[in-house]
Amino acid sequence: MLSYAQSNVAKGKVPSDKAVDTASLQQAFTIGGGASGHTGFSMKGLSPFDSLLQRLDTAGADLPSEDRKDLQQQITSFLPKLEPGKAADLVGKLQAADGLRSAAFLDEVCKLLPASRFTSPHLTRILAVLANWAAAVSGSDADGKPKLSEDARSFFTTSAAELSLRLMDVAPRDLSQIANAMATIGQTEERFFASLARASVARCERFAAEEILLLCLAFDKANLVHVPLLEAAAKLLRHQVSQVSGEDLSKGLKSLATCCVRDLELGRSVGEHLAQGPKGRLSPEEFCSLAWTFVTLGFYHDQMFRAVFKALEDAPSMPGDTLCQLYEIHLALKAFREDLYGKYELEEAAVQSLKAHYRKQRGGKLREAIAFLAAASAREAQLDATDQVFLKRLQACHGDCDSLRAEYEKSRRSLQSLEEETLKRATKALAPSQRAPGARVPGPLHSHVSKRSKASTESNLHKFVLVASVVGLVIAAFFSPRWLQQANRLLKLSSPSERTPILSAV
């Protein structure tokens, strides 16, 4: 019948629109047993490779062991023979095939994928899939990094070496994916990441905002810092703030704050963009986190901070970490922007509630005292800067300088008063933690206690604060070194020359 139909078509007896599909006839009479009704993947005209891809779509976690072994054998037989593009497609399908992803099969796949065989886009795609696979099936070491087998480690090492030779030709999005993949499996070799960062900075104008933010987050995940890369990201983000989702914007600013990279233009752009409230699906918690990065970097935008407090006020509930960040924001604004913050400051009852929660979650008085000591150091730096400014102005004064001296004395008295008040609050926060358990709270001095001179009292106060601050910093360094690093950065950035506000007007 098949030959008869083909001869009729050749002779023109069958119209073209009713021509017999010879492939369908061949499938009906030569594949699958014809009238038996048995159907296979080839019944649909699929090639063996396409049939394999279709089977992988249904390879869930409940895949029978016999089917799993059959699929694994087909994959290992196909991979060495496929062209790079199809091999990358096949590996990409394995990402969703939970029934096949095991540590042993990962080793087999890694041995069949020599890095030099693939182009950069294909190798990047394979690297991303296998990195997630390795992170899912491997255990963790003491540092929390995946424990890779020798075969897997060899694949990732050779892939990184191969890609390091092509970095200037790799697409920007692929650079972000490469960095994220290597950070996911804990392969954070500094030389490779430095080369990757230099290649990214050299072509930073070709990145989209989401791509360069993903790259910065990968460096943060790897616990590596490359300041030129962060500066390039901030510069690129300035003009694309409205095009970035709220979540990505919050994460990007957190990376900048963690590494203490300040960009005033970026801060101004973000503040103006969010002055009316959260945008880009930015949740109240992410909005609060973004405001926390502002105070960490020494930025201030009045309207944006007002919008943050309004968004948190309207939120039905907030996580514990958000409440702790809100309390830190309150302390920072109280210490550095009390004149402007006083117009919308949190109510005392809310502050006390946040304070109690913060003590319970973050260690309480010790961290609070360190925050006050940081504020006191900032006041001292402001005093030094004031002395230098007025000294230059007095040297340039050739006429009546009495008004200038009066202005100088007024400014200095104001700063000294703020510094003394901050030191008192730090002393008050530290004092209870220095008492022995069960000790009574000291009451007012009675007549039998000798009165000390004012100079002696102030001297002892400063000595106590100095000793208490050293003890507090040592304890904080032991329990939370990363938080202490941020506190030191805050101290470093507290001078007026470096902590220029974004908007000086309300």
Structural contact between residues 369 and 467, judged by C-beta atoms closer than 8 angstroms: no
Residue 485, pLDDT > 90, answer: no
Stronger pLDDT, 120 or 4, i.e. the higher one:
120
Structural contact between residues 87 and 77, judged by C-beta atoms closer than 8 angstroms: no
Q: In 3D, which of 376, 381, 455 has the Cα closest to residue 417?
A: 376
Q: SS3 of 445, please?
A: coil
Structural tokens at position 131? 């990195």
Structural tokens at position 377? 């150091």
Q: What are the tens digits of pLDDT across the range 385-426?
A: 777 777 777 777 777 677 778 877 887 787 778 778 777 776
Residue type for 212, please?
Answer: I
What residues contact residue 46 under an 8 Å CB cut-off, 6+ apart? 54
Structural tokens at position 225? 């810092």
- Per-residue confidence (pLDDT) for residue 503, from 0 to 100: 33
Rounded to an integer, the average pLDDT of 452-481 is 50
- Per-residue confidence (pLDDT) for residue 32, from 0 to 100: 37
Residue type for 21, please?
Answer: D
Task: Please give the C-alpha separations between residue 87 and each of 10, 18, 53, 250, in angstroms, as whole numbers.
Answer: 40, 39, 11, 37
Q: What are the tens digits of pLDDT across the range 78-120?
A: 999 999 999 999 999 898 888 888 999 999 999 999 999 999 9
Task: Please give the Cα distance from 75 to 334 (Å, whole number).
Answer: 63
Residue 438, pLDDT > 50, answer: no
H-run or E-run covering 405 = helix 402-434
pLDDT band at 213 (very low <50, low <70, confident <90, very high): very high
Rounded to an integer, the average pLDDT of 255-268 is 89
Task: Please give the Cα distance from 113 to 111 (Å, whole number).
Answer: 6
- Per-residue confidence (pLDDT) for residue 190, from 0 to 100: 92
Q: SS3 of 140, please?
A: strand
Q: In 3D, which of 130, 122, 124 has the Cα closest to residue 84?
A: 122
Rounded to an integer, the average pLDDT of 342-355 is 92
Task: Please give the C-alpha separations between residue 194 and each of 115, 179, 479, in angstroms, as whole numbers.
Answer: 21, 11, 30
What residues contact residue 124 under an 8 Å CB cut-off, 6+ apart? 163, 170, 174, 177, 178, 181
Task: Please give the C-alpha separations between residue 327 and each of 76, 137, 321, 332, in angstroms, as whole numbers.
Answer: 56, 40, 10, 9
Secondary structure of 174-226 in HEC code, one letter for each residue: HHHHHHHHHHHCCCCCHHHHHHHHHHHHHCHHHCCHHHHHHHHHHHHHCCCCC
For the chain, the C-alpha Rg in angstroms (whole number) is 33
Structural contact between residues 327 and 357, judged by C-beta atoms closer than 8 angstroms: yes
Quote the pTM value. 0.62
Structural contact between residues 113 and 84, judged by C-beta atoms closer than 8 angstroms: no
Q: What is the full DSSP assignment across 313-351? A: HH-S---HHHHHHHHHHHHHHHHH-HHHHTTSPPPHHHH
Structural tokens at position 205? 């104008």
Secondary structure of 230-282 in HEC code, one letter for each residue: HHHHHHHHHCCHHHCCHHHHHHHHHHHHHCCCCCHHHHHHHHHHCCCCCCCCC
Q: What are the tens digits of pLDDT across the range 170-212?
A: 999 999 999 999 999 999 999 999 999 999 999 999 999 999 9
Cα atoms in the 13 Å half-sphere on the side-chain side of 216? 32
Q: What percent of the chain lies above the pLDDT cut of 90?
A: 41
Structural contact between residues 499 and 393, judged by C-beta atoms closer than 8 angstroms: no
Task: Please give the Cα distance from 316 to 324 (Å, whole number).
Answer: 17
Rounded to an integer, the average pLDDT of 275-296 is 91
